[in-house]
Structure 1
Amino acid sequence: MKGRVKFGVEGLDEMLLGGLLERSICAIVGTYGTGKTTFALQFAYEGIKRGEKVIYISLEEREELLRATMAQKGWDTEGFGDRLYLLRLDPTDFNLAISSIKSELPALIRSTGASRVIIDPISLFEGLFVDESVRRQEMFAFIEMMRDEACTLIITSETETGNPDGSRYGLVEYLADAVVLLRYIRSPGLTEVHLALEVVKMRRSAHSREIKPFEIFSDRIMVYSEASLF
């Protein structure tokens, strides 16, 4: 029986009944400004604190900016040692990005012994494939490839314009084992905007189906799993 992998976000682990299932694939889906990268970094940091090896692949932020973000949170990045492998791929270099993720990632996971892998955001990888059928085929092949690796995978994705409940290409929520949806909720009088989180699905496990508010602080994320939105 598979164990649980702590996400490292107070309130979210409770909603996941202890954390993600070991060696599962989780998609964090949300529009801009909802904290997808912050959640991904928190997942990475939780692994590092536990002595695990972590691979973080960024297709958007530069390595120095990610390290600066970590430093702002008060994390001792110098003390991470060889537990964090932070890689920045240029999505404009189509062939290199495709080759690195498909060909080199499995070998890197095995050589480092990484138990947590993050790709942020996967939507930029998906966007490298112009043809929809090719995109679907490549994404399915990638996810199947990752299922053979001894790691828990986090992928982040932008929501589709005009559809705050679905990913940009409508694929990751079907391919992933777990989906965490981040969104803005406006109060009835339109006087306040809240950040809210929903665990949309979690294969092979029960989970909370309630929508819960959350806040992003300088050093942590807090999901108010006992609170109501309004």
Structure 2
Amino acid sequence: MLSGGLPRESICAVIGTYGTGKTTFALQFAYEGLSRGESVIYISLEEREELLRATMAQKGWDPERFGDRFYLLRLDPTDFNLAISSIKSELPALIRSVKASRVIIDPISLFEGLFLDEAARRQEMFRFIEVMRDEACTLVLTSETNTANPEGSRYGLVEYLADTVILLRYVRSAGLTEVHLALEVVKMRRSPHSREIKPFEILEDQIMVYSEASLF
């Protein structure tokens, strides 16, 4: 569906409501990079570090065997100054020092929510994305959906700033007897991609996207 994968050093937003697998997608993206010998930075603004490591271990993705190539950090989004400083000022230096080629922020919507003023939020997000474009890494941002618009991010910003937007959603059958998880590649700059909505499953050890299947 992505015609081979995410372009290197691009920015991808994975958007979805609760339970659609945003964090699982992000963890698998991290694990694939680690398995290829890359260094990965994973910043969690929601789940505790030990819970994320336990989730990976449960799926057979043992994070401990990668040693100091895997930097899993949790920031407290309620500590405004620390979270802002860490993401805006310290993250670029950390990326360069560890030569990280993959960076994940999960979820970026909690960072956006630190700015109560919409104009300030937009300005800070644009600045952050511009800074990250100067770093030699592929950035994945997860975001919750907007309750009023299940096809958009919570604040309606990341889908415009990202190069690739992947939307995760629930789809109910016509008879309301089944609920399916579905994936859509909404946008992908400078690369051809599928325009179809495809079902996927979160299995014990991986995410499986059925790119040849139809929803019903």
Instruction: Give the alignment's TM-score, normalised by structure 1.
Output: 0.93
| Residue 200 (structure 1) aligned to one of 147, 169, 186 | 186
Residue 27 (structure 2) aligns with: 41
Matching residue of 2:168: 182
Match of residue 157, structure 1, among 120, 135, 143: 143
- Shift of residue 211, structure 1, vs aligned partner: 0.1
Aligned to 2:18: 32
Structure 2 residues without counterparts, runs of 5 or longer: none
Paired AA for residue 53 in structure 1: S
Q: Secondary structure at the match of 1:194?
A: strand
- Give the corresponding residue for 1:62: 48
Give the fraction of aligned pairs with identical amino acids, expressed as a percent.
85
Q: Which of the numbers 58, 61, 69 marks the counterpart of 1:75?
A: 61
The answer as to 2:96 corresponding to 1:110 is yes
Rounded Cα–Cα distance in structure 2 between residues aligned with 1:190 and 1:227 = 20
Aligned to 1:167: 153
1:87 alignment partner in structure 2 = 73
Offset at residue 83 of structure 1 (A): 1.2
- The residue matched to 2:100 in structure 1 has which SS? coil
1:76-135 CA distance string (max 9 Å, x none): 222111110000000000000000000000000000000000000000000000000000
Q: For 1:185 and 1:162, how far apart are their aligned partners in 2?
A: 17
Tell me the amino acid that sits aligned with residue 64 of structure 1.
Answer: E
| 1:218 shift after superposition | 1.2
CA distance in 2, matches of 1:143, 1:48: 24
- Alpha-carbon distance, 1:164 to partner: 0.9
* Cα displacement string for residues 136-171 of structure 1 (whole angstroms, at most 9, x for unaligned residues): 000000000000000000000000003110000000
Residues 40-82 of structure 1 deviation map (CA, whole Å, 9 limit, x = unaligned): 0000000000000000000000100000101101122221111
Q: Which ranges in structure 1 are unaligned for 5 or more consecutive residues?
A: 1-14
TM-score of the superposed pair, with normalisation by structure 2: 0.99
What residue in structure 2 maps to residue 4 of structure 1? none
